Structure 1
Amino acid sequence: MFSRPHAEPLTPDKIYAGNLAQLGLGYPLWCPDPHVSGTPLRGDVGAVLHGRFIRLLHVDTSESAASKKVTSFNPPFPAKDIQPLPINALLFDRIDGSLRPGRYCSHGISRSEMYATATAPLGGTGPVSLNLKVDHKCHEKQGAALTLQSSAHAEVTLSMKFLKAYAARNFLKWHRYATTALGFEVEPEDIILVTGWHKTGKDWAATALGHDKHASSSIDLGAGLGGLAAAGVGGSLEETMETSSVQRHGPGYSPEGKHSQRKDDERDQCVFVKGVRVKRRTFLPNKIMASAGPHRLPRSGNGRGAPEGEAEKGGDEDFLGYDWQEYMPEGRISDPVSIVLEYIFEVSNALVAVASDDQVECILCGRHVLDFATLLRRTQFRVEVDADVVGSLCMEDLVSYQQEQKFMRPATGLAGLSDLPQTSREHRPAHPPITTADLDDWPQITRKSAGTLTDSQIFLGPTQSKACPVNYKAVVFGDAENMKITRLRCVSLSPDGTLLAAATGNTIAVWRVQDGLAVQRLDQGQHTAKIWSVAFSPDGQYVVSAVDDKLPLVCQWNVKTGNVVHRLEGHEEAVRYAAFSPDGAQIATRSRDSLRIWDASNGSLLHAITDLDAAFGIQTLFSPDGSRIAARSAVSEEDTAVVVLDSRTAARTATLRRKDIWRMAFAPQGDRIAAGCTDGSACVWDAASGTALLELREHTDVVREVAFSPDGGELATASSDGTVVTCDARTGKRRFTFRVESVQGRDKEEVNTVAYSPKNDFIACGADDGCVRVWNRRTGGFVAVFQGHSDSVWRVLFTPDGWDVLSYGFDHVVRLWSGRDALRLS
């Protein structure tokens, strides 16, 4: 017979961590201020002791990581035992302002104007915190709250599949070092390989609350954790039990709520740490049970999975025949990652289980789900077990589930089990409910014509030739039957990345990117022919459209109201191009007869340039600072040119001559212009003087598009010869040649478009086989092939955050691909 588990005392750090873990933001640290070993970093291996993260070693052995080594322990972890991480294993996403200033509370916490009188520090000596205002009520046995007076930033590692395997191979060595060499009392599953964090300034406060008086008197502070104060709160609650509250706060925290964080202050206070954890099977029965916190099941029928007076269990079998609620250790923290580890053992034959906060984030999708254990059972995620009998949740299932939930369901709020799918593969075609707030923002919002999730594939592997397909659901806007997107320039993404506008025939559809709902349709019978060009204003409030009509017309639309603000009339031939200047003050329009510049505020014509021959195309661009306009023109039957104009006066400032110019682009600084040519060459000119600076001859066929890197130091050229080449934009030295390998087995796939990610090292291209390919432009490493289009891809563009890619082409639809998902699946 198995013995009853020993009950551990409930300490504030365990109450705090066990309750705030429900938010799915990572492991909550009761002590966010750095330990002597340093603040948590990606690539750290460590453990949480008494609510503080202890760095044991750093596993990134690259030269740039030399300053991140842990030097506070003697002996240090043997360098010979550190298994090197490959290049880009810690590729990460940084999110500024990931958590806004405010309170982050566990379920059962409500706000109330209560004032606490601080007593002497519990468990030892130290300064007393005076006049702290504790404005929380706890309606459950326990609760926790985090108060941030400044925003928190986040870093999240994306190559999770590899890191989970890496942790499984090394966690026993890490555990032996922590226990044998350093003397820490930790279990193997307490060791964390750090993959991310949320960090803020010193103006935070952590609060642990409960009705159990014993909970506030059995506090094990540990070394260096002075300054905690127990506060008795006046008044009584519904159950007439005295509330105990323990609060810890940073040195910059203001009890009066005054904001003290300066923009230049260091954010080294880690409020949530994210990572990978590993657990060995104990060969005892592992049955996952429903849980609503660190130590107990839901106690009442309030939509959390159990009727009034009953505690919901995880299945017909109970833990060794005992009542789980009675015998669960009082101090046990049933955080979501621990529940995932138990689930893996329950449904598989794995001897070792690996789980991460990233997996939990995929499952929660920003929702606050109380009964995470039962949710995990009901969704029935598959467990992959490798040759070493290491089990982990199927990442393909998780990514698909997250995609469906983000697209089909509300992104935030408390979710009951009845609101969630029964299995990870259950299909729910309905879009998110349209709320009152949605209608206030977008009165025309509708599910009709909304974007949809469609089956696609991602090819992943060490190289393009060795890549294998993984099933994936991509978001598709428009359809090939009723909402054809028919022109190269008739798709535009708002500058903040939240809205997508596309011309479908003679109307413009506007979608909300986050969930695909159609928020606006710009029509009003203004256009009677197909639209050629659509573009957002820099502030995202307006859209300008150009039409190929008997009476050429350009309309400036208010996106919110759907009304026409200005009608720009005057062109004599079909208008093929329209765009706002970077500051939104001007609109440039182009037809075969003229280039016109308009005042965006009143629709008046500022300049009409009629001496540009558009026989060879009408591409027109504003420089990034808006001071110049570059327009492609014909010089003679033999030659083409790029004419540079002053946008304020319309005076010509330079003429850049070259035979058969195809496409052009401004450098981000606006000082240079690059163009690709039909003879396979590409040229770079000084935008002010027109002086030729560079000529590249890297291709054997037409250069269909050129693009500068975000820093202007590199130039990418995409060619019909099936390659993308990157060169130094100043010297012309070749850096990488990215060759498109056809997924259809053809000898060559013409590349039509190329784009740089604005915030990371990705470069993407679209080709005739309907695929979008992504590489790492700094290392030349292959990232992914996205397959879903049924015809040639015309254009690719990255979203402003630099991770997602939009593509569209001859199949007349726009597809949205996630670079984050590709890295998590690779």
Structure 2
Amino acid sequence: MFTLFRALDSEAAYHIYPSCLSGRGYGYPLWRPEPHDTGEPQIGDVGYMREGSFVRLFNINISAAPYRVKGWHPQFDIEEPPSLNVFRVASYPASLMAGQLRSRGVEEIGIHGKLAGGTPFGASAGLSGGYSCREVHGALLVLKSHADAESLYDNRALEEYMIREHHKWHAYAVDDVGHRVKLEDVVLVSGWVKAPADWATAAFSNTSSTESLSVTSQLGQLFGLGLSGKRRTAYSGPRMERQGATYPQVADANAPRNQCLFVKRYKIKKRVSIVRVLQAGAGYDNQGPSGGGDDDVESSAVRSGDPDVVPFDKLFGEWEDTTVEPLDILLDYILEISNADYALARDEDIESILGGNTPTDFSTYLRRAQPPVLVDDRCGRVSKQDLLLRTQAKLEHPRISSGDLARWPGITAEGRAEVASGKVQLPNYAPGKSRGLPKYAFLEFTEPTVTIKTRHCYALSSDGTLLATAWNKLEIVLWRTRDGLRLQCLTDAHSGNITSLAFSMDRRRLASGSRDRTVVIWDVVHGTALLRLEGHSSESFPWFLSFSPNGRVLLSGANDGTVIFWDAYSGSSLSTFALGTAVRAVLFDTSGSYAAVTVTNLVVLFKLGPQIVQRAAIASTSTPRIFDVEFSPNGERILVCAHGEFARVYTTDKGREVLRLDQRGQRARTAAFTPDGGAVMSVTAGERDMRLVVQDAVRGKELLDVDDRNHSEASTLAISPDGTLLVTPYSLGGLIVRDGRSGEWIGKIEGVAQEVVTDVKFLSDSRRVLFTCSTGPIGIVDVADIRRVQLQ
């Protein structure tokens, strides 16, 4: 989340809204998506931003008559129009699906109410469902219909044209039309995201980050809304919600998609004798040091080396515009660290630099990341490919700090995870043009003494920072996932090879099952064995383990069908069940109230309480094995999917079927709940096609249907916790990365394994994916960086 405004202007919704939703990969958010008097934004437009809307001056594509801007006198005379080859456009249908786009800290809350006497003019009835903000500022976008997108291909000729003509554009805006705009405010539109008028937006502003703001409470004060249920702090300031003309109803299928939610821009800045000084800890409302923060961040300015440079604020004081957006900060950065006469950047550059991160202070983030700048013919641009390669190069040289040694005395780079490389392929939108990277670094975890075909087991901590592995041996290796350093080895507790591993939710304890028929609970920090659990029979090996969310119960499932619930603190057995055939998986729901055990073609549900009881059994007679089992985030439903045979959603308490995913001749190969639990995503196969389908988890209504043969090898899928990315196996040893909202193909990573990937799992940062095969190494790859490659 960015901060784009000064304190004196901090309550302006058209400043707060884009500051909180920028950097998401869609462009610059418009607080006023409706077409301006000058018309809806079009690719090739030259114009500027004004109070949350885009003002069009003219369009440089003179061959597109509908793009012509009328109303300004005189009209701008394009003496030398650019070549039509620069206007090659890539279209992305359904680039943004119906649903919510929220900034950090914005929450949906359980409020129910009704408007007395109908919906007053200006009231956002659709937002009265209840939203609050726990941050100082926040933003919300709600869509009832999907949004489409278009953007220009990268084209150096267009950039050079802009450099040549930009001063003329600014002169026209100031001298001919009489608008008060700065040189760098005049931009060129390179893309947009548009939807029908069934949208709603909100901007939140609290006086303290500890307060909550409720749109519903505000509406109640202003419009007499009757409320029941949970209430939040009422907001007494000005109204900061807007809605489209057809909201809250879904727009008709024939409704025009002329509401520009996001706009992508090229922006240019010329070096002058006065250059803004960029300082660490400086937000957009403060160009000085913050006086605190990370000790590793220096507070001195990043300067161009010219001693005569004078900061803007000392020369002009409050004359300067109240807003300084990320693109302006980036342009200043380019000029300050290079000798370029011009700086050129676009919204995609911001998104590429962030790579999925959402910093509160982009100035500080730039200083720490220090993206490389290339200067070509006096023009400076950010080199995103160099930035990506430099980021990956850090994997080659991990650093062990004094803090690391204090926490992990056995930490070592010896025997650390290897840095391997695959190949990134991007969609070839332009004919005959191959896009991607020939080498893409990732971490590969394995033991040097084992063969590539050795079976393994692993466990990932809930926060994604720790990985525990065992390769059919007596020892367990604990790794740090960010750099592959070995933290310690856990040994001398088992007499048989390790068969299963599981972390407690707080990552302080690790459970290991072994062929010696015991389960050991370890103290992860000190590397000592705390408890030894004995209870499985002489022919019963604990193949699967899982801790309850509160860490009090440990569930073990064995190869003979024995299931034991253990007290994870005392080591005593709470309940034992014999299910007859080998256990395939065990898991708890997020509340710890239910547990599911998979055995061959049966899923057995247990209710935890003073007594542990079996509540339901979900059977499959059409397949010998059930593959995917997953609880919904609220624990009320469970998804059961058998590879290519059937996929169903059942209630957790009684095992009652509520939804079928395999319909109309389509068989679900794999499926998963979306992070909010409101939908189910599945890869289905018919006689001639493969499809990626998203359905409402309650009613089964299709929300997204993408025809995609690239999923032909998909036997599992992973959705990032923030819902923005989707990963499935692809062909032999590859992964395919997609946009989690639209299903749009972002890229493929090839050659990461020597066989088909059988399991993929996102880490909690929503950037990295852990992938495994039935045998061989375990890999962790940063798939969010594929967006950086895509935006080159």
Q: Is the partner of 1:608 in helix, strand or coil?
A: strand
One-letter amino acid of the counterpart of residue 548, structure 2: S
Q: Aligned to 1:402, which of 391, 395, 398?
A: 391
More displaced stretch, 808-817 vs 779-788: 808-817
Aligned length: 611
What is the aligned partner in structure 1 of residue 739 from structure 2?
A: 776
CA RMSD in angstroms comes to: 5.9
Instruction: Say yes or no: does 1:455 pair with 2:451.
Output: no
How far apart, CA to CA, are the structure 2 residues paired with 1:488 and 1:725?
33
Instruction: Say yes or no: does 1:688 pair with 2:688.
Output: no
How far apart, CA to CA, are the structure 2 residues paired with 1:75 and 1:664?
47
The answer as to whether partners of 2:594 and 2:606 remain within 8 angstroms in 1 is yes
The answer as to whether partners of 1:557 and 1:563 remain within 8 angstroms in 2 is yes
Offset at residue 607 of structure 1 (A): 0.8
Instruction: Say yes or no: does 1:601 pair with 2:569.
Output: yes
Instruction: Say yes or no: does 1:662 pair with 2:658.
Output: no
One-letter amino acid of the counterpart of residue 401, structure 2: I
How far apart, CA to CA, are the structure 2 residues paired with 1:732 and 1:165?
40
- After TM superposition, list the pairs within 5 Å mapping 1:178-577 onto structure 2: 183-184=179-180, 186-188=182-184, 201-202=206-207, 278-279=267-268, 324-326=306-308, 337-338=330-331, 340-342=333-335, 346=339, 381-382=373-374, 392-405=381-394, 407=395, 429-435=396-402, 437-461=403-427, 468-471=435-438, 473-479=440-446, 481-482=448-449, 490-506=457-473, 507-521=475-489, 523-547=490-514, 549=515, 551-572=516-537, 573-577=540-544
Q: Is the partner of 2:785 in helix, strand or coil?
A: helix
- 1:72-120 deviation digits (Å, cap 9, x = unpaired): 69996579679999665899894559xxxxxxxxxxxxxxxxxxxxxxx
Offset at residue 494 of structure 1 (A): 1.8
Evaluate the alpha carbon distance shift between residue 337 and residue 656 of structure 1 in structure 2; reply closer, same or farther with a 3 A threshold.
Answer: closer
The answer as to whether partners of 2:646 and 2:668 remain within 8 angstroms in 1 is yes
Instruction: Say yes or no: does 1:651 pair with 2:613.
Output: yes
Offset at residue 401 of structure 1 (A): 1.7
Between structure 1 and structure 2, the one with the greater Rg is: 1
Evaluate the alpha carbon distance shift between residue 681 and residue 735 of structure 1 in structure 2; reply closer, same or farther with a 3 A threshold.
Answer: farther
Offset at residue 575 of structure 1 (A): 1.3
One-letter amino acid of the counterpart of residue 794, structure 1: T
How far apart, CA to CA, are the structure 2 residues paired with 1:42 and 1:25?
5
Offset at residue 60 of structure 1 (A): 8.6
What is the aligned partner in structure 1 of residue 18 from structure 2?
A: 41
Q: Is the partner of 2:16 in helix, strand or coil?
A: coil
One-letter amino acid of the counterpart of residue 615, structure 2: T
Q: Aligned to 2:586, which of 613, 620, 626?
A: 620
What are structure 1's unaligned runs of at least 5 residues?
Answer: 1-23, 46-53, 98-149, 205-261, 269-274, 296-302, 306-310, 315-323, 408-428, 635-639, 743-747
The answer as to whether partners of 1:463 and 1:781 remain within 8 angstroms in 2 is no
The answer as to whether partners of 1:720 and 1:750 remain within 8 angstroms in 2 is no
Evaluate the alpha carbon distance shift between residue 200 and residue 805 of structure 1 in structure 2; reply closer, same or farther with a 3 A threshold.
Answer: farther
The answer as to whether partners of 2:510 and 2:521 remain within 8 angstroms in 1 is yes
Evaluate the alpha carbon distance shift between residue 461 and residue 81 of structure 1 in structure 2; reply closer, same or farther with a 3 A threshold.
Answer: farther
More displaced stretch, 584-593 vs 336-345: 336-345
Instruction: Say yes or no: does 1:629 pair with 2:622.
Output: no
Offset at residue 702 of structure 1 (A): 8.3
The answer as to whether partners of 1:672 and 1:684 remain within 8 angstroms in 2 is yes
Q: Is the partner of 1:325 in helix, strand or coil?
A: coil
One-letter amino acid of the counterpart of residue 490, structure 1: C
- 1:5-43 deviation digits (Å, cap 9, x = unpaired): xxxxxxxxxxxxxxxxxxx98878475624586435159
What is the aligned partner in structure 2 of residue 641 from structure 1?
A: 602
Evaluate the alpha carbon distance shift between residue 627 and residue 39 of structure 1 in structure 2; reply closer, same or farther with a 3 A threshold.
Answer: closer
What is the aligned partner in structure 2 of residue 795 from structure 1?
A: 759
One-letter amino acid of the counterpart of residue 655, structure 2: G
What is the aligned partner in structure 1 of residue 114 from structure 2?
A: none
Percent identity of paired positions between Structure 1 and Structure 2: 19
Offset at residue 591 of structure 1 (A): 0.6
The answer as to whether partners of 1:577 and 1:619 remain within 8 angstroms in 2 is yes
The answer as to whether partners of 1:57 and 1:70 remain within 8 angstroms in 2 is no
- 1:508-561 deviation digits (Å, cap 9, x = unpaired): 22223333333233x2222344323222111221111222x1x21211111111
| TM-score normalised by L of structure 2 | 0.61
What is the aligned partner in structure 2 of residue 706 from structure 1?
A: 671
Q: Is the partner of 1:618 in helix, strand or coil?
A: strand
- After TM superposition, list the pairs within 5 Å mapping 1:14-25 onto structure 2: none
How far apart, CA to CA, are the structure 2 residues paired with 1:267 and 1:757?
36
The answer as to whether partners of 1:202 and 1:267 remain within 8 angstroms in 2 is no
What is the aligned partner in structure 2 of residue 815 from structure 1?
A: 779
Evaluate the alpha carbon distance shift between residue 165 and residue 600 of structure 1 in structure 2; reply closer, same or farther with a 3 A threshold.
Answer: same
Instruction: Say yes or no: does 1:586 pair with 2:568.
Output: no
- 1:795-818 deviation digits (Å, cap 9, x = unpaired): 111222433322222563333333
What are structure 2's unaligned runs of at least 5 residues?
Answer: 23-27, 42-47, 59-66, 70-86, 107-133, 142-148, 194-202, 210-231, 239-263, 288-295
- 1:469-500 deviation digits (Å, cap 9, x = unpaired): 22454331413744779888833322222222
Evaluate the alpha carbon distance shift between residue 153 and residue 329 of structure 1 in structure 2; reply closer, same or farther with a 3 A threshold.
Answer: closer
- 1:351-376 deviation digits (Å, cap 9, x = unpaired): 956695667778x9999999x99997
How far apart, CA to CA, are the structure 1 residues paired with 2:369 and 2:767?
29
Offset at residue 504 of structure 1 (A): 3.6
Q: Is the partner of 1:759 in helix, strand or coil?
A: coil
How far apart, CA to CA, are the structure 1 residues paired with 2:20 and 2:51?
17
The answer as to whether partners of 2:420 and 2:444 remain within 8 angstroms in 1 is no
